[in-house]
């Protein structure tokens, strides 16, 4: 199947970036759909801001920016968004019931041969596929934040995902300038979060136990393990609430060893979520 048009459902943090990569790098026509005009406008603004940053770095020309923006078609109408799409990427907030509702509606209006992918970071692919009538054409396609810069896409098989679907998404991944990693079992946390969440949780425990300052913990991991960013800075970027939600899925679906640190829960309760709330382990208001 030749891929020409991609629908992205959700214009938020991940959705706008996925739409941009599909239009800018893969040069697909992209329908970007959300439920409110303000969400669409905000998504288009973030895409423009990102393209301007590429322009400043000399990686794109003014003419290319206009071409990219010309390939992105924002809409509030689900039917219009998915009717002629070859691939549909769902990127709505990380809530199983919300995702299932959106996926069922997309499935109803999509052409029979279209592949539906979900950008979930923690919810079972098999469970989400059950909201559609095409489980063999349903797959996990997990982008990393920000999608414009991060090179990895985890491709996750559901219980019924066909080889053909996995291979098509792997090709699309490469066309988007990304590297695919295939996750052969639909298991919570996939590859990256299963390794990352315990590491972040231990960094929080070190702070909680007063073993070292957040600055020194980050410095130790950056210089000692060659991470581009320390774990506590990364937590502030990811959002402590998002991290807690993923940890809770891992505990429920995999093993009690993923139990989140009490300090993580306490900070989420206090609204100290990291960058998005202005304060987490660091003060972002400055």
| Region label for 226, one of left (φ > 0), alpha (ψ between -120 and 50) or beta (otherwise) | left
Per-position pLDDT tens, the chain of length 286: 789 999 999 999 899 999 999 999 999 999 999 999 999 999 999 999 999 999 999 999 999 999 999 999 999 999 999 999 999 999 999 889 999 999 999 999 999 999 999 999 888 999 999 999 999 999 999 999 889 999 999 999 999 999 999 999 999 999 999 999 999 999 989 999 999 999 999 999 999 999 999 999 999 999 999 999 999 999 999 899 989 988 998 999 889 999 999 999 999 999 999 999 999 999 999 7
73 is catalytic: no
**Sheet with 29-33, side-by-side order of all strands:** 72-75, 29-33, 5-9, 87-90, 115-118, 138-143, 152-157, 179-183
- Which of 50, 122, 154, 277 is catalytic? The answer is 154
121 is catalytic: yes
CATH of domain 193-277: 1.10.1040.10
Instruction: Give residue for tokens 């202005």.
Output: 278
Report the DSSP beta bridge partners of residue 138. Answer: 116
- Which of 119, 122, 193, 261 is catalytic? The answer is 193
Domain locations in the chain? 5-183, 193-277
Q: What is d(CA 143, CA 163) in angstroms, rounded to the nearest whole number? A: 20
50 is catalytic: no
193 is catalytic: yes
- Which of 16, 31, 119, 142 is catalytic? The answer is 142
- CATH fold, domain 5-183, is Rossmann fold (3.40.50)
Q: Do 12 and 39 form a contact (C-beta atoms < 8 A)?
A: yes
Q: What is the pTM of this model?
A: 0.90
């Amino acid at each position: 199947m030749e891929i020409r048009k991609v629908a992205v459902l959700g214009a938020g943090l991940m959705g706008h970036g996925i739409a941009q990569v599909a239009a800018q790098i893969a040069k697909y026509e992209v329908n970007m759909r959300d439920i409110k005009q303000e969400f669409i406008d905000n998504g288009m603004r973030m895409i423009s801001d990102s393209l301007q940053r590429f322009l400043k770095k000399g990686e794109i020309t003014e003419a290319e920016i206009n071409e990219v923006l010309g390939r992105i078609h924002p809409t509030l109408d689900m039917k219009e968004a998915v009717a002629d799409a070859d691939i549909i990427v769902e990127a709505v907030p990380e809530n199983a019931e919300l995702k299932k509702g959106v996926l069922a509606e997309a499935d109803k209006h999509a052409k029979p041969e279209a592949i539906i992918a979900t950008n979930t970071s923690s919810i079972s692919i098999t469970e989400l596929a059950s909201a559609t009538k095409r489980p063999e054409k349903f797959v996990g396609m997990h982008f990393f934040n920000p999608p414009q810069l991060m090179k990895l896409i985890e491709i996750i098989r559901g219980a019924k995902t066909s080889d053909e679907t996995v291979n098509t998404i792997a090709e699309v991944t490469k066309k988007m300038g990304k590297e695919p990693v295939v996750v052969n079992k639909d298991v919570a946390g996939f590859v990256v979060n299963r390794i990352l969440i315990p590491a972040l949780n231990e960094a929080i425990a070190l702070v909680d136990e007063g073993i070292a300052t957040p600055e020194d913990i980050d410095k130790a991991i950056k210089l000692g393990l060659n991470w581009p960013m320390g774990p506590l800075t990364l937590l502030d970027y990811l959002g402590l609430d998002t991290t807690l939600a993923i940890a809770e899925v891992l505990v429920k679906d995999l093993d009690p060893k993923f139990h989140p640190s009490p300090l993580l829960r306490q900070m989420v309760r206090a609204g100290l979520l990291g960058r998005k709330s202005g304060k987490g382990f660091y003060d972002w208001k400055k």
